[in-house]
Amino acid sequence: MKMNGRFRSHHDTQAAVSKALENKQGKSGGPPNRTLPRESSSTEMKAAMANSLQFTDLLAMIPEDHPRGLYLHLPYCDRICSFCNMRREQSTGENLHAYARHLNTVFSSISHTPYVRSRPFDVLYFGGGTPSVLSNHDTSQLYPLIRKSLELAPGHEWTVESTLHNLTDEKLRIFSDCGVNRLSIGIQSFTDNGRKMLGRSGDGAWARRKFETIRGRFDGTVAIDLIYSWPGQSQEHLERDIQYIRELDIDSISFYSLMIHPGSTLSNDIDSGRLLFEKTDEYDRQMHNRFYESMLAQGYELLELTKIVKPGRDSYRYIDIRYQNCDLLPLGNGAGGRVMGHRVYHMDAERTMISPPKQEADRYNLLIGLLQFGNYHAEKIASILSGLSFEFIENILSEYESAGLLSRSDDDGARRLSPDGVFWGNNLAVDLIERVIEAQD
């Protein structure tokens, strides 16, 4: 089968599925159907903001006895990556301290609500931005307050995203004392050239030393982000990152093809001609497959399309919470999540969008999750969908198998993604779901 451009992330998948659902609703004369606030039309955004249901109303409710999580957003970085223009600001001591005080107020205000007090939280995820950019003082105030405000379930997972340079010994101690047990560090590359091109702090040798120091002082999972297919990256650069990962024995790696956001430093340099960068899908595929197959040879296994893990060393339950349509309480400016089945997005401290539950969108979110984890099992897919036969799904999967993107497993009848299947995995998910939506019209 022919692919017309690669979808590089689950965000691309969700946006494409949202568009397909909206087109279906438009044909049937129904209202637009969106799955994520970040993809909302202006019409739906106004409707969501005008919704009489308030965030405090949701927090007055008692949730069902299902796993749930909390997502905290900190939209500040002390150094902006060259490829990024996402919702974040260059931090200063003043704006960081003010935002930390705001978060203290937020946690104090929600701590006694029925929703929060009703049962423990299984997963906490602090993203951004760079949550670890807070000062030692603000960290020492905020994290104990969070720990006091929330009951954590036995075996909870608490992740904090970070860069290398602002993980001080004091912060690591506070994290450990308060229950943080997973770090996600934006390495991007351990090579000198890669770190310079992507706007990271320090050279490769410093990054490797700093990682070893953190590993020795933090008794929890340490995951990293790694980027491939950046301007000027050679096969040798990739091989060196593969070597350093092996030497550092990293728990898990999220690996991404470079996505250059419009308005970022790299985007401006490319558009102006100051930087020559011509990337093809074939070049991307070669770099991806070399990295992925090397990691499999080192004993890693695929957890989801862009994440590989050492067995038993990282379960990444946060992503599972999201794809199982479980509640994910969003807090902080720019945070999005789900509360009592409603989609919630805090635009800032004063404005919150709340969208009602959407059964069809939830069903496709379950399917996206199944496919993100590489599970192409016709019976499981058919069980999520309604009105479509096993044979219909089986025929589509057979087509993918014939194209070399899936291989059949002898264990449970499922098909597993080949290296090329992992590379094109988001495209396969969109293709499958679009066919399903069309068949159900």
Which structural domain range is residue 423 located in?
A: 1-35+359-441
The SS3 assignment for 421 reads helix
Note whether residue 270 is domain-resident.
yes
Residue showing tokens 């390495």: 187
Least confident stretch, 26-30, 107-111, 365-369: 26-30
Q: Do residues 305 and 414 share a domain?
A: no
Note whether residue 352 is domain-resident.
no
For residue 288, the Cα-to-chain-centroid distance in whole angstroms is 19
Q: Do residues 60 and 30 share a domain?
A: no
Note whether residue 146 is domain-resident.
yes
Distance CA 432, CA 417 (A): 14
Q: Do residues 215 and 244 share a domain?
A: yes
Give mean pLDDT, residues 66-70: 97
> 404 CB contacts (<8 Å, ≥6 apart)?
418, 420, 421
Residues 223-255 as b or e (16 or more Cβ within 10 Å = b): bbbbbbbbbebeeebbebbbebbeebebbbbbb
Q: Do residues 369 and 429 share a domain?
A: yes
Provide Rg for the chain, Cα atoms.
Answer: 22
What percentage of the chain exceeds 90 in pLDDT? 78
CA distances from 38 to 335, 336, 345, 373 (A): 10, 8, 8, 23
Note whether residue 427 is domain-resident.
yes
Cβ atoms of residues 107 and 146 within 8 Å: yes
CA distances from 313 to 223, 306, 316 (A): 10, 16, 9
Instruction: Please tell me which residue, 413 or 199, carries the higher pLDDT value.
Output: 199
Distance CA 246, CA 295 (A): 9
Cβ atoms of residues 437 and 392 within 8 Å: no
380: how many CB neighbours lie within 10 A of its CB? 16
The SS3 assignment for 353 reads strand
User: What is the domain count for the chain?
Assistant: 2
Q: Do residues 292 and 222 share a domain?
A: yes
Q: Do residues 173 and 248 share a domain?
A: yes
Phi-psi region of 316 (alpha: psi -120 to 50; beta: other; left: phi over 0): left
Domain end (from 320, 347, 378): 320
pLDDT computed for residue 37 by the predictor:
38
| pLDDT tens readout for residues 38-51 | 344 444 444 444 45
Domain end (from 320, 350, 378): 320
Q: Do residues 397 and 303 share a domain?
A: no
Residues 299-320 as b or e (16 or more Cβ within 10 Å = b): ebebbbbbbbbbeeebebbbbb
Note whether residue 342 is domain-resident.
no
H or E segment and range at residue 329: strand 328-331
Preceding amide of 30 cis, omega within 30: no
pLDDT computed for residue 31 by the predictor:
41
pLDDT computed for residue 409 by the predictor:
76
H or E segment and range at residue 300: none
Q: Do residues 66 and 4 share a domain?
A: no
What CATH number does residue 125 fall under?
3.80.30.20
Domain end (from 289, 320, 351): 320
Give mean pLDDT, residues 362-372: 94
The SS3 assignment for 158 reads strand
Note whether residue 432 is domain-resident.
yes
Least confident stretch, 182-196, 257-271, 403-417: 403-417
Distance CA 53, CA 356 (A): 9
Distance CA 2, CA 422 (A): 15
The SS3 assignment for 112 reads coil
Q: Do residues 309 and 389 share a domain?
A: no
What CATH number does residue 398 fall under?
1.10.10
Note whether residue 351 is domain-resident.
no
Q: Do residues 309 and 364 share a domain?
A: no
Q: Is the pLDDT of residue 336 over 80?
A: yes
Residues 55-91 as b or e (16 or more Cβ within 10 Å = b): beebbeeebeeebbbbbbbbbbbbebbbbbbeebeeb
> 340 CB contacts (<8 Å, ≥6 apart)?
58, 61, 63, 115, 327
Note whether residue 116 is domain-resident.
yes
Q: Is the pLDDT of residue 119 over 70?
A: yes
- Of 346, 378, 345, 386, give the one whose Cα is nearest residue 362: 386
Q: How confident is the model at residue 23 (pLDDT cuts 50, 70, 90)?
A: confident
Q: Do residues 270 and 407 share a domain?
A: no
- Dihedral (Cα; 431, 432, 438, 441), 10-degree rounding: -150
Q: Is the pLDDT of residue 34 over 70?
A: no
395: how many CB neighbours lie within 10 A of its CB? 12
Q: Do residues 164 and 226 share a domain?
A: yes
pLDDT computed for residue 376 by the predictor:
94
pLDDT computed for residue 50 by the predictor:
42
Q: Write out the DSSP string of 164-228.
A: STT--HHHHHHHHHHT--EEEEEEE-SSHHHHHHTT-SS-HHHHHHHHHHHHHH--SEEEEEEEE
Tokens of 317: 């339950």
H or E segment and range at residue 156: strand 152-162
Cβ atoms of residues 59 and 114 within 8 Å: yes
H or E segment and range at residue 321: helix 317-323
pTM value is 0.91
